[in-house]
Copies of this chain bind each other. A is one copy, B any other.
Amino acid sequence: MDALEKRIRREGRVIGNDILKVDSFLNHQVDADFMQEIGQEFHRLYEKEGITKVLTIEASGIAPALMCALAFHVPCIFAKKSGSANMGKDVYTSMVHSYTYDRDYTIGVNRSYLTNTDRVLIIDDFMAKGKAVEGLIGIVRQAGASLAGVGICIEKGFQNGGKELRDKGVRVESLAVIERMQDGKIEFRH
């Protein structure tokens, strides 16, 4: 997505060779209109897939997932991280390893909201090693729902998450894929 690459070049801050901060428009301050365009782009990519639910994880996945759900006119579900109160017992859960925080956490989705008649699109803001998406796929499988694919705003192509998922036959559409970051410069994959 050309507009996203331009925005990353203009506002992204590269820290070391690994961290990209885009919190001026994507995941702290959110450009609502631009996020709607991102949601519409995911819709364009998956519009023939009969999507019935968009699934993400709190917190920074919510904005792109909600705008995607709006474009499809379907519900958006955000998996909650453990520690969330009032989740109830009837919950699908997965373990996710966070490399950012170097810890495991549990995510959960109430069983009422995903069933074996659902066709699910998973959305997230970033993908690096893909552990969050793997956790969400685990929840889709537990529900007996079918997975249409994954939509990512920014994929770190120099980490393995996207490759591993594609090797397993999962459709992954990333609106911007970073090939490498070095000396503050960003190179995109095309």
* A residues apposed to B, CB below 8 Å: 19, 21, 23-25, 28-33, 35-36, 54, 58-60, 62-63, 66-67, 69-70, 72-78, 80, 83, 85-86, 100-101, 109-110, 112-113
Contacts and interface: CB of A to CB of B under 8 A. Distances in A.
A23 B78 CA distance: 10
Given A62-B63, A66-B63, A100-B85, A112 B30 contact: no
B70 A33 contact: yes
A74 B24 contact: no
Contact of A24 (B31, B72, B112): B112
Given A59-B62, A62-B63, A63-B62, A110 B69 contact: no
Contacts of A100: 85-86
A75 B32 contact: yes
B69 A113 contact: no
A70 B32 contact: yes
B59 A21 contact: no
Across the A-B interface, the 8 shortest Cβ-Cβ residue pairs: A58-B59, A32-B69, A59-B59, A32-B70, A29-B113, A62-B62, A30-B76, A29-B77
12 contacts: A23-B110, A24-B112, A28-B78, A29-B110, A30-B66, A32-B70, A32-B72, A32-B76, A35-B70, A58-B60, A85-B100, A86-B100
A28 B110 contact: yes
B73 A32 contact: yes
